Structures are given as structure tokens and as C-alpha cells.
């Protein structure tokens, strides 16, 4: 691996599902070891950007490179925590089995999981503070607990890049803290994290840099530059109803 290459490089990316592009000419580079937040109103292309990094959606135009390689080729180096609404919670599976799913891609399908795989999965559950729940059915957990288990699966998977789509949406304070701790300790290991985030009030506190998106890339850089009131009112328009004391990080974003 060439360490001088950015972990993620997006060049002139345009993605459409229909006549109007979800992303238009987006270019950005993210260095390894960064904790990056993606912000922007509903429908601004945040999930589409994450899916492009995963190679799940095909660009109309442009390129996505992970450590200089095509996203398709580098797939094994990326772990993903999807938006919670997109998961079927009635599936009969335990917490531990979900965490172990992170290990299946690492080996040939005919091989049993090893003791090491089980240790890695259990350690990931401890990290998100869900070790005590390992034998529970996933459907019996609270939303925040489910979110933590899915995070454990991604951690167990390993990989250099971790992509999370709104991990903090609708979670309780304990989960918020547990997830943030894990994001920070994962960054300490040199991994690169890209997190879709909906709460502008915590964005400057949680992330090294922010990406402000609404179809196009409006801003990318340190939170104090991106969370600029004029820029935000342009991007969020009428959706940002209470919007005070932004510079001190105490704003509330209630338009979502
Ligand atoms: N599978 C899809 N089919 C058609 N349109 C889609 C699909 N996914 C997203 N879109 C549209 O693309 C735009 C961006 O969506 P998305 O990336 O999900 O935004 P965000 O995550 O910021 O809310 C929206 O207008 C959305 O309706
Ligand atoms: Mg989304």
C-alpha cells in the first residue's frame, strides 16, 4: 500500500437514479486516519456518496479510488454500517451471529469460522458494550442497541475504511457515547472513517473535517469553516428553523 495516496479520492463524480443527478461533479480527497462527517439536508446525496464509495452505485461520470485503486477492486478493505431503516429486524439471528457475519468475508466460504474469528467478533461486541447481550435475538434489542451491534459487525470485519450512514440517528445518549468512543478508538488505529451525520450541533465536536453536500460539494474542510452561517442557510434553506450561536457549536438543527 502506498501510504502517500489518499484513503479516498472522488473525482468529478456524477450519479443519477433518474433525470436529476443525486450527485453532481463531486471531487474530494480524504487522507487516511481521518474521522470525516458528511452533512447536508435530506435527499442531498449523502447516502449516495457512501454507496459510491462502496461501489454499490455506478457513476454516470467520474471515478472513486480507494488507496489509488478502483472502488470495485478495493471492496474487501471497506466495512459499512447501513442506515438503520434499511435492515430487516425480524430475521432470527443472535447478536453474536451478527458480529460473526463480519468475519465471513475474510475466508473461504467452506471453512468453519476459527477461534480467532470468534474472539474478534466478541471483542468487537465488548467495544460497543454489547458483550452481555451476545445471545439475544437482534429483534429484541432497542434501536440504539441494534445500531451498536451493526457497528460491532463492521469493526469485526476490519478493513482500512469504515463507512457509517447516520449511526447516531434516533439513538439514546448511552449509545451515542458508545458509538463516538468506538469511532475515536478506531481512528487511533489509523483507519479512515466517513460518517453521515444529521446533527449540526455536534458536528464540530465529533469530526476532524466536514463535507457539506447538496447534490454538489458545497464545502469540505475543518468544521469551523464548513459550519459557516451563510453557507448553511444557503444549503439548508427553510429547513433550518432554529439556528443560533452556531460558532459556539450550540445550534440545533430541527429541519430533518
Ligand atoms: N434507489 C433510488 N432510486 C431513485 N432515486 C433515489 C434512490 N436513492 C436515492 N434516490 C434519490 O437521490 C437523491 C439523494 O438521495 P440520498 O443519497 O439517499 O440522500 P440523503 O442520504 O442525503 O438523504 C434523492 O433525491 C433521492 O430521492
Ligand atoms: Mg441517507
- Which residue's C-alpha comes closest to atom 5 of ligand 1? 17
Question: Is the CB of residue 74 below 6 angstroms from any atom belonging to ligand 1?
Answer: no
Return the domain boundaries, the chain: 8-248
CA 15 to centroid of ligand 2, rounded, Å: 14
pLDDT tens string, the chain, 256 residues long: the values are 555 789 999 999 999 999 999 999 999 999 999 999 999 999 999 999 999 999 989 999 999 999 999 988 888 899 999 887 767 767 789 999 999 988 886 656 566 788 999 999 999 999 999 999 999 999 899 888 999 999 999 999 988 999 999 999 888 888 899 899 999 999 999 999 999 998 999 999 999 999 999 999 999 999 999 999 889 989 998 666 545 444 444 444 433 3
Query: Per DSSP, which regions of the chain are E strands?
Result: 8-16, 21-30, 35-39, 61-66, 69-70, 78-81, 161-165, 192-196, 209-214, 216-221
CATH superfamily name and code, 8-248: P-loop containing nucleotide triphosphate hydrolases (3.40.50.300)
- Closest-lying ligand to the alpha carbon of 167? 2
Amino acid at each position: 500500500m502506498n501510504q502517500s495516496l489518499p484513503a479516498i479520492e472522488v473525482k468529478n463524480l456524477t450519479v443519477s437514479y433518474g433525470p436529476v443527478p443525486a450527485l453532481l461533479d463531486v471531487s474530494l480527497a480524504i487522507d487516511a486516519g481521518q474521522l470525516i462527517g458528511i452533512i447536508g439536508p435530506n435527499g442531498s446525496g449523502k447516502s449516495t456518496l457512501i454507496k459510491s464509495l462502496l461501489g454499490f452505485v455506478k457513476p454516470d461520470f467520474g471515478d472513486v479510488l480507494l488507496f489509488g485503486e478502483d472502488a470495485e477492486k478495493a471492496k474487501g478493505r471497506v466495512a459499512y454500517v447501513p442506515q438503520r431503516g434499511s435492515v430487516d429486524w425480524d430475521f432470527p439471528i443472535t447478536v453474536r451471529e451478527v458480529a460473526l457475519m463480519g468475519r465471513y468475508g475474510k475466508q473461504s466460504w467452506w471453512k468453519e469460522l476459527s477461534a480467532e474469528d470468534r474472539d474478534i467478533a466478541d471483542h468487537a461486541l465488548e467495544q460497543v458494550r454489547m458483550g452481555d447481550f451476545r445471545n439475544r435475538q437482534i429483534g429484541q434489542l432497542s434501536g440504539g442497541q441494534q445500531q451498536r451491534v451493526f457497528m460491532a459487525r463492521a469493526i469485526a470485519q476490519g478493513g482500512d475504511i469504515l463507512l457509517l450512514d447516520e449511526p447516531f440517528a434516533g439513538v439514546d445518549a448511552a449509545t451515542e457515547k458508545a458509538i463516538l468512543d468506538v469511532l475515536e478508538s478506531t481512528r487511533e488505529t489509523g483507519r479512515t472513517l466517513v460518517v453521515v451525520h444529521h446533527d449540526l450541533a455536534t458536528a464540530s465536536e465529533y469530526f476532524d473535517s466536514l463535507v457539506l453536500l447538496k447534490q454538489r460539494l458545497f464545502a469540505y474542510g475543518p468544521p469551523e469553516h464548513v459550519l459557516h452561517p451563510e453557507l448553511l442557510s444557503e444549503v439548508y434553506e427553510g429547513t433550518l428553523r432554529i439556528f443560533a450561536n452556531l460558532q459556539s457549536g450550540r445550534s440545533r438543527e430541527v429541519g430533518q
